[in-house]
Structure 1
Amino acid sequence: MHVTSEQRLDDGVVERAFLLGEIPGTLWTPGSAPAPLVLMAHNNGLPKADPRLVARARYTAARGYAVATIDAAGCGDRPRSAAAEQARADLRRAMRAGEPTEEILESLVGPLVENAVPEWRTTLDALLELPEICGPVGYSGGWAALGIRLAVAEPRIAAAGLFAGGYVPRAQREEARQVTIPLLFLLQWDDEGNPRQRALDLFDAFGSEEKTLHANPGGHTGTPWFELEDGCRFLDRHLK
């Protein structure tokens, strides 16, 4: 892991940009060490510099966690694939025309998940070698499909907070039955891009004995700020 920049922020959190081979990422660590690790991903691979992700990461780090995120292949500054760019163009066209989008989303999000999981696991290996980071490990983020796949593939993840705001491919909807770790699932009741019943069906499918659903009125980006505090309390119960 090669650290490319480092700065101490006003809240005492240290922010470091890093490269792990071709994988760019950011790590936020609190003043206390060692700290449990939280992997934080934004919806369907949106850039690690997205302001909402950065705000959540900094808040969580200030609560005593090491928080890490990476750019998925084809996202942020990473090269785009022709297939993914065509799928995005097809998605925009279908949305403008009011046409069905599920098959296009399958062709876009499914490969994103499959390509992202090995990179997240490689990143996890490298992060857990740092003296300021310890287990157990949590996952938090709007990319629910990635969280499901990681929870199934990666035994070091002990708990997950998922946002029901992104498309979850059929493969991950089936895999949800294999997820047994504690879950906190956030749903925006009026999310214009995420059918409510599909999110409720996904919550029902999770195999976890401990799973909690928080539903709030409002659209896709209207998740109340207090849910971040509740999310940290959830992590406190399972990672500290």
Structure 2
Amino acid sequence: MHFTSEERHEDGVLSREFTLGEIPGILWTPRSAAPTPLVLMAHNNGLPMAQPRLRARARHTAAAGYAVATIDAAGCGDRPRTAAEEQARADLRRAMGAGEPVDEIFESLVGSMVERAVPEWRTTLDALLTLPEIDGPVGYSGWTALGIRLAVADPRIRAAGFFAGGYVPRAQREEARQVTVPLLLLLQWDDEGNPRQRALDLFDAFGSEEKTLHANMGGHVGTPWFEVEDGGRFYDRHLK
């Protein structure tokens, strides 16, 4: 892991950009010098790690005493995409513009991205846990489809917060029953691109004994800021 830049913010949080082979990422750490738990924070469906909403959540979480890391995995951000992914994105834009069904297009696009992203996230986690300022345990926050696969594949994930707005492929809907870590699922009741019942069915499918659903009025990007604070209390219960 090679750190390429760093910035100390007014709240004491240190943000450092890094590369790990071809993987670019950002690590935020709190002012405290003591080793801290880690939260992996993933954005939805290929959005860049530079997304302002993600950075704001990351800094808030780091200021509360966590190391927070995100990466642009394969196919995400500015990283090269396969010809199939580019075609799927073009097909998706066309179908949405025409009001046509998009489930199968989402399936091919998002399913492929999850398969390619998970190994890179696990490689990044391996490297992060060697740093002296991080001692675990590990939580996850963000993109639901990726988080389901990570929670099933990697026992180091001890708690997960999912955003129900992201489309979840069939493979991850089937894997949901294998997710047993404490879970917080956020749902936007009026999400214009994701059927409400699909999110409710997914919540019902999770195998966790402790799982909580927070539903708020509003569209896809309307999650209220107080959910970040509630998420912090969720991680405090399970990671500290």
TM-score bracket for this pair, using the shorter chain length: over 0.9
Distance 2:203 2:138 in 1: 22
Deviation of 1:134 (Å): 1.0
CA distance in 2, matches of 1:139, 1:117: 13
Residues 34-79 of structure 1, C-alpha deviations (whole Å, 9 max, x = no match) = 1100000011121100011000000000000000000021222211
Q: How does 1:134-149 map to 2 (within 5 A)?
A: 134-141=135-142, 143-149=143-149
Which residue matches 1:230?
A: 230
Deviations 1:129-170 (A, max 9, x none): 0000011000001x1000000000000000000000110000
Matched, 1:212 2:223: no
Q: Equivalent residue for 1:124?
A: 125
Taking the TM superposition and a 5 Å limit, the aligned residue runs for 1:156-195 are 156-195=156-195
Query: Matches of 1:201 and 1:114 in 2, distance apart?
Result: 23
Task: Report the Cα distance in structure 2 between the residues aligned to 1:168 and 1:46, rounded to whole angstroms.
Answer: 16
Give, in whole Å, the separation in 1 of the partners of 2:114 and 2:75: 12
For residue 101 of structure 1, what is the aligned residue in structure 2? 102
> In 1, distance between residues paired with 2:123 and 2:73?
13
1:127 alignment partner AA: L
Alpha-carbon distance between aligned partners in 2 of 1:165 and 1:42, rounded to the nearest angstrom: 11
How many residues of Structure 1 are paired with residues of Structure 2 in the alignment? 239
Aligned residue type for 2:117: A
Asked whether the equivalents of residues 37 and 67 of structure 2 are also in contact (C-alpha less than 8 Å), the reply is yes
Q: CA–CA distance in 2 between the matches of 1:167 and 1:185?
A: 14
Q: Give the whole-Å Cα distance in 1 for the aligned partners of 2:76 and 2:237.
A: 33
User: How far does residue 199 in structure 1 lie from its aligned partner after superposition?
Assistant: 0.1
Percent identical among aligned pairs is 84
Q: Hey, what's the Cα distance between the residues in 2 that align with 1:133 and 1:150? A: 19
Q: Gaps spanning 5+ residues in structure 1: where?
A: none
d(CA) in 1 for partners of 2:20 and 2:191? 35
Partner of 1:31: 31
What RMSD over aligned residues (CA atoms) do the two structures have, in Å?
A: 0.6
- The structure 1 segments of at least 4 consecutive aligned residues displaced by more than 2 Å after TM superposition are none
Displacement of 1:7 in angstroms is 1.1
Q: Secondary structure of 1:25's partner? A: strand
Aligned partner of 1:203 in structure 2 is 203
Aligned to 2:75: 74
Does structure 1 conserve the Cα–Cα contact (< 8 Å) formed by 2:45 and 2:76? no
Moved more, 206-215 or 41-50: 41-50
Other-structure match for 2:92: 91
Q: TM-score, normalised by structure 2?
A: 0.99
2-side partners of 1:119 and 1:7: how far apart? Answer: 25
With the length of structure 1 as denominator, give the TM-score of the two structures: 0.99
Partner of residue 47, structure 2: 46
Look up the SS of the partner of 1:26 in the other structure.
strand
| CA distance, structure 1, for counterparts of residue 172 and residue 78 of structure 2 | 27
Q: Determine the C-alpha separation between the residues in 2 that align with 1:7 and 1:135.
A: 23
